[in-house]
Amino acid sequence: MTSPAQPLRHRVEEWVEQIHDQLVGALERLDGSGTFERDRWQRPGGGGGVTAILSDGALFEQAGVNRSAVWGEFGDAALARLGGTDREFYATGVSLVLHPRSPMVPTIHANFRYFERGSDAWFGGGSDLTPYYPYESDARHFHSTWKRACDAHDTLYYPRFKKWCDEYFFLPHRGEMRGVGGIFFDELRGDLEATFAFVRDCGAAFMPSYEPIARRRRDERHGEQERAFQLYRRGRYVEFNLLYDRGTSFGLATNGRTESILMSLPPLARWQYGWAPAPDSREEAALRFFQPRDWAR
């Protein structure tokens, strides 16, 4: 690890590289057969990153783990879209989205990022779980893991960030949550060293939050009906990422690398006009399941 005497951005960037490599290795072991292909890229205007993609694995139909460190100045269009007057920026972070092959295994997203704009600096991040079929024990495990990570730093973090996540990962045009939430935080300022310690612990909590769920569900039986429902719900995932996701908006506004920005999208999805679940079906129960609840009690 770099010396604390070095600028915070350098230490965060080094951690981003480390956690990226750790997650890629852990997810390859979890998948059991697939390997990530690393695509190194440079951003015109400053910086670059590595996008690691696993396709057609035993567990993951597609998994992406992206890291980047980019800098430069906002153009007029980006400034109009993002607001404010400071043009100079620096951003580094790691993000991942895992789309399992089986509809019984949830999709999951996480990202952890550090941002500087002019003299201002802050951290953001979080993780949310998007199951296709309802398993209360999975949602409770996921939320309890993140609550422990939050409580180790501030007992007010989890209730605040859980509520923020429920509100953020919501599709207003559908009146639906994307999944069962998790934690979400942004623009955390103040004691940046203490916040960096929290963010590092969040990075360490990701695999414990997800791996037991994936191992528990990966071999459960399913058929064409469950696969069709998975693809239908993936359509909601696409809608959220393209319409509301801040990371997608920021990346496109700052001339980021489109392939890396859109690596969060699933390889397959479907839309069906006027679809409704059959009464008393597992699909109907699943749609009722995606509501804000006190999962960690």
Catalytic residue set: 109
CB-based contact 247:95 (threshold 8 Å): yes
Dump the DSSP string for 48-93.
Answer: EEEEEEEES-SSEEEEEEEEEEEEEE--HHHHHHH-SS--EEEEEE
Cβ proximity of 213 and 295 under 8 Å: no
Report phi then psi at 215, rounded to 5.
Answer: -70, -35
